[in-house]
Amino acid sequence: MRVRSNGLSIEVEEHGPADGPPLLLIMGLGMQLIGWPDRFVELLADSGFRVIRFDNRDIGLSDKFDHWGHADLATAALRYTFRMKIRAPYTLADMAQDAIGVLDALNIERCHIVGASMGGMIAQIIGATRPERAHSLSLIMTTAGARRLPGPTWKARRALLSSPENPRDIASVVDHNSRMFKVIESPKYPTEEEALRRRLQRALGRSYHPQGVGRQLLAVVASGDRTPLLADITAPTLVIHGREDTLVPVANGIDLARRIPGAKLEIIEGMSHDLPEALLPRLAGSIATHARSAQGQEAVT
């Protein structure tokens, strides 16, 4: 279904009991709401949560910003290097307001928030600037964005910035995306090639909008370091990070947990920058347990 949020039309799906504790899933860079595996959503819904997932702006079935044109990532990278201001059509703070708008449209005053990668960055902003909206935060494979923290490996960086040989040919795009995901997938929990290709084909059949990915990346770079915000997060926070993450190295998760008051850290051996099928029960279980604990703490106080 579509809802109006922050002046935009945003695509939203709900799963689980309507009267369950609401839990909002915020996906990462260039990923549609189906980037949250159906099995993961089912596990959370079966645990009694009202699970909401949505397409971020500029991706999937939500409103696009094509009137801004293609993102000039080369210039943005140069300006970032020299600590110059980066012009972007929107920032992560705008995307955080989109998420708040989704909650408003669904008449949800407060919820548990789960963010992965860029979605975790957006969740940090909500937790710090709109603490009254978050029962708990679960931050997966994400970062505060400080310059002192390690960035992607060169191989992962090249994969992230690469393009298909023929962007107009679906088979070429699937081949390219498959190679890219293989660079960042969990070494201990690899995805079977055919399963990965089916997932990619499903996503491309739903929407293919590479220009939006570039503008979202520009928003990440333009938004800068969230470290000063972290001390303002009051919601019980769980940080989950893969030990072998090649895109957002584990030091980022360790730093995040250290700087958010009272945060818990779960490092998963053999996990990189994906949500492998074999780990879905563990991930959903950790998040469900954390959310229930947070609600229990509120009931006591």
Which CATH class name applies to 2-300?
alpha beta
Query: Tokens 């708040």 — which residue?
Result: 100
The rounded distance, in Å, linking the Cα atoms of 31 and 55 is 8
Q: How far is CA 61 from CA 10, 33, 280, in A?
A: 7, 9, 25
Mean pLDDT by 10 residues, the chain (301 residues): 98 98 98 98 98 98 96 92 94 98 98 98 98 98 98 92 89 94 96 96 96 96 97 98 98 98 98 98 98 81 52
Strand-pair partners of 8: 5
SS3 state of residue 257: helix
Tell me what pLDDT residue 301 has: 52
Residue 126, pLDDT score: 98
> Model pTM?
0.97
Domain boundaries, the chain: 2-300
Cβ atoms < 10 Å from Cβ of 198: 12
Sheet holding 8-15, edge to edge: 2-5, 8-15, 50-54, 22-26, 111-116, 134-140, 237-242, 264-268
Pairwise CA distance, residues 129 & 34, whole Å? 27
Q: Give 14's DSSP letter.
A: E
pLDDT at 295 (0 to 100): 86
The C-alpha atoms of residue 289 and residue 271 are separated, in whole angstroms, by: 20
